[in-house]
Structure 1
Amino acid sequence: MHEVPPWLWAAFAVTVGVALAVDLLANRRAHVIGLREAAVWSGVWVGLAVVFGASVFLVVGPTAGVEYTTAWLLEKSLSVDNLFVFALIFGYFQVPREYQHRVLFLGVLGALVFRGLFLAAGVAVVNRFTVVMFVFAAVLFYSSYKILTKEGDSVDPGRSIAVRLLRKVVPVRDDYAGNRFFLRENGRLVATPLLAVVTAVEGADLIFAIDSVPAVLGVSSDIFIVYTSNAFAILGLRALYFLLADLLDRFHQLSKGLALILALIGVKLALQASHEIISTGVPEVPSLVGLAVIVVVLATSVVLSVVRPAPSGADEAPSGRKP
């Protein structure tokens, strides 16, 4: 565990709170997010993440700085794969483009809360029961297999568990009513499809956490490192979606790169657990090596996607992890 001064936690909380408030005020009116606006906001979120990473490096130490950078880059790369699922959900529910930002904004708020809970629980379990790292490694190996085999491609977003539970609690009308989530019809409260979309996105993030939490715990078991890196990766997800929405199909090799990264993080977890439980003679993977591998694999996946475009009409795009 790293020695993190309380003021750095406070600085993180203030930065996130102010950034969310500014984003909300800037987009308080429903409108279509254009490429230029998405690029500006993506630059803002990446810039904040980089500046915070530099602060971690200077204040907490080089090791913590490398771990934060590795974890942030890992979560950022996994979030790109998640964009395909968001596109699937928006397409299924035919969400007007001007309402998509609000859906993703609420999805981010939910993700910040649930990821925090999952990560806190994961850190507590790993620090108390090291053997569970073998289980997390197995989860990552299976996730890698699912991505490579595109298992679950035919899943219907409208029949996800989260959406089905919502329909049991409140009736959901067929038509949108602006950016409203509820309205009254014939004296009863009904939900609009927009609430079903938010529910589907939140449900999808819970599924994403099955991969993301073990993966980031393979980088660090320090709650400050894993949560702040996750938070900054999640915060930039909305702008990244609008920036890449029309380009997603071009990154058809990304799924293979992400599968390889998850498998390698699984190996790192297994080696670390073996080092602590079985024998100190078992080598561990240094943090810098893990960071270098992620950078190389991601860069190679993007370059190959550009150099070798998918055949016209081929279903080569990364399918993501469906809810």
Structure 2
Amino acid sequence: MELALPAWFEIGSFVVLLLILAFDLLIVFKRPHIPSPKESTLWVSFYVALALLFALLMLTIGDAEHAGQFLAGWLTEYSLSIDNLFVFVLIMSRFAVPKKYQQEVLMVGIIIALVLRGIFIVLGAQLIASFSWIFYIFGAFLLYTAIHQAFSKHDDTDDNENRMVGFMRKHLKISDQYEGFKLRTLVDGNKMFTPLIIVFIALGTTDLLFALDSIPAIFGITQSPFIVFAANVFALMGLRQLYFLLGHLLDKLEYLKYGIAFILGFIGVKLVFHAMHENELPFINGGHPIEWAPEISTWTSLAVIILSMAVATIASLVKLKRSGTSVSEAMHGDDEEEPDDSGTAETTDRPAKTTREDAG
């Protein structure tokens, strides 16, 4: 039987989370600036502490299973969000978004991600409630995604992105220069879109593709829509500060994608085992549950997720150190000169490396 938390706690949590996001949004648009490493560190620490406090509340109001499901779901979504963040870094660089306005652009990307994930959560919950065999599909999809994440070279991603840019420039009037945070501008008396329209569409497409991975992954940990949505919100909060804190270090964490791929593969296997326990397909074991399939506990999942990310991160940092590059150099050494607000957006066919073939 699915665990249930008090209605007042769920409603109150949503209200508080929305207020925090609204406050964060207000800060971004009222005071656009480039956060310092100290400011970014404080905000990231605050949001992580807030998530841990929320887990403690769930332990107190609910039980250890509630808290464990939230922690495992939050860490899974946080891992996938970091992968998402890496692509955000590339999009900003690819289109030469002025750093002064990257906070606003990131916030828009995060809001798009929240809306899309909310839609997928509702759809996923309805599918699970109606068709238990959907876990077979979710599990197979995550296993495919894990293999793709670990072994694909993504050499044709640039071609896909450049085709998108070419298509938009052919069908939309897009200027070559940014006009602050404006989407529309006047060029020689003609109304045109600024390059921000391309950036937003690239971010939205990326968010959509990453949501396709993240929602089945967390439903492999918990079937509670509340915990699923809360874990996603906490994973996305502080993401823009993490962007400014880590900088180009993400590109140097070479083994991070393998850690994420292992997590996706593990949860995919867990989903298949769960589907076997709930089996209703007549052509599999006559429609009867498959008793020998093991049940993977929430705490086992939590341990695997933490260990996978820890090993991937430590191995990446060790390799970075052996290459003679310090963490500080990796974070800031590749920064290019910041374009001014009227700078030209780089939408030519310049190569860009990505971690997922579908991103952008």
Confirm or deny a common fold (TM above 0.5): yes
Distance in 1 (alpha carbons) for counterparts of 2:170 and 2:14: 36
* Aligned equivalent of 1:220, options 219, 222, 233: 222
Distance in 2 (alpha carbons) for counterparts of 1:126 and 1:4: 19
Query: Structure 2: 5+ residue runs without aligned partners?
Result: 280-288, 325-351
1:311–1:202 distance in 2 versus 1, CA, 3 Å:
farther
Compute the TM-score of the two structures, normalised by the length of structure 2: 0.82
Distance in 2 (alpha carbons) for counterparts of 1:316 and 1:253: 15
The residue identity in structure 1 corresponding to 2:293 is: V
Q: State the 1:160 CA deviation.
A: 7.4
The residue identity in structure 2 corresponding to 1:14 is: V
1:231–1:312 distance in 2 versus 1, CA, 3 Å:
same
Which residue is equivalent to 1:33? 35
Paired residues of 2:91 and 2:199 also in contact (CA < 8 A)? yes
Taking only the aligned residue pairs, the percentage that are identical comes to 35
* Greater C-alpha Rg: 2
Q: State the 1:5 CA deviation.
A: 2.0
Compute the TM-score of the two structures, normalised by the length of structure 1: 0.91
- Matched residue of 2:270: which SS? helix
Which residue is equivalent to 2:7? 6
Q: State the 1:158 CA deviation.
A: 7.7
1:88–1:293 distance in 2 versus 1, CA, 3 Å:
same
Distance in 2 (alpha carbons) for counterparts of 1:178 and 1:145: 41
Q: State the 1:21 CA deviation.
A: 2.7
- Find out whether 1:294 has 2:305 as its counterpart: yes
Q: How does 1:232-243 map to 2 (within 5 A)?
A: 232-243=234-245
- Matched residue of 1:303: which SS? helix
Q: State the 1:133 CA deviation.
A: 0.9
Q: State the 1:312 CA deviation.
A: 5.3
1:164–1:60 distance in 2 versus 1, CA, 3 Å:
farther
Distance in 2 (alpha carbons) for counterparts of 1:2 and 1:153: 45
Which residue is equivalent to 2:314? 303
Moved more, 285-294 or 49-58: 49-58
Paired residues of 1:163 and 1:199 also in contact (CA < 8 A)? no
The residue identity in structure 1 corresponding to 2:22 is: A
Q: State the 1:149 CA deviation.
A: 1.5
Moved more, 139-148 or 244-253: 244-253
* Aligned equivalent of 1:50, options 49, 52, 63: 52
The residue identity in structure 2 corresponding to 1:322 is: A
Q: State the 1:166 CA deviation.
A: 5.9
Moved more, 167-176 or 274-283: 167-176
Moved more, 71-80 or 300-309: 300-309
- Length, aligned pairs only: 323
Q: State the 1:126 CA deviation.
A: 1.5
1:154–1:179 distance in 2 versus 1, CA, 3 Å:
same
Q: State the 1:10 CA deviation.
A: 2.5
- Find out whether 1:17 has 2:18 as its counterpart: yes
1:273–1:173 distance in 2 versus 1, CA, 3 Å:
same
- Matched residue of 2:33: which SS? coil
Q: State the 1:62 CA deviation.
A: 1.5
Moved more, 237-246 or 214-223: 237-246
Query: Structure 1: 5+ residue runs without aligned partners?
Result: none
Q: How does 1:229-268 map to 2 (within 5 A)?
A: 229-268=231-270
Q: State the 1:189 CA deviation.
A: 3.3
Paired residues of 1:257 and 1:298 also in contact (CA < 8 A)? yes
Paired residues of 1:68 and 1:229 also in contact (CA < 8 A)? yes
Residues 184-215 of structure 1: CA deviation (Å, up to 9, x unaligned):
34554322112321221111010001211111
Q: State the 1:291 CA deviation.
A: 0.4
Q: State the 1:43 CA deviation.
A: 1.2
1:56–1:169 distance in 2 versus 1, CA, 3 Å:
farther
- Matched residue of 1:190: which SS? strand
Paired residues of 2:154 and 2:357 also in contact (CA < 8 A)? no
Q: Supply the RMSD in Å over aligned alpha carbons.
A: 2.6
Q: How does 1:120-139 map to 2 (within 5 A)?
A: 120-139=122-141
Q: How does 1:84-95 map to 2 (within 5 A)?
A: 84-95=86-97
Q: State the 1:75 CA deviation.
A: 0.5
Which residue is equivalent to 1:115? 117
Moved more, 163-172 or 14-23: 163-172
Moved more, 27-36 or 168-177: 168-177
1:128–1:118 distance in 2 versus 1, CA, 3 Å:
same
Moved more, 199-208 or 155-164: 155-164
Paired residues of 1:82 and 1:321 also in contact (CA < 8 A)? no
* Aligned equivalent of 1:147, options 149, 163, 181: 149
1:317–1:205 distance in 2 versus 1, CA, 3 Å:
closer
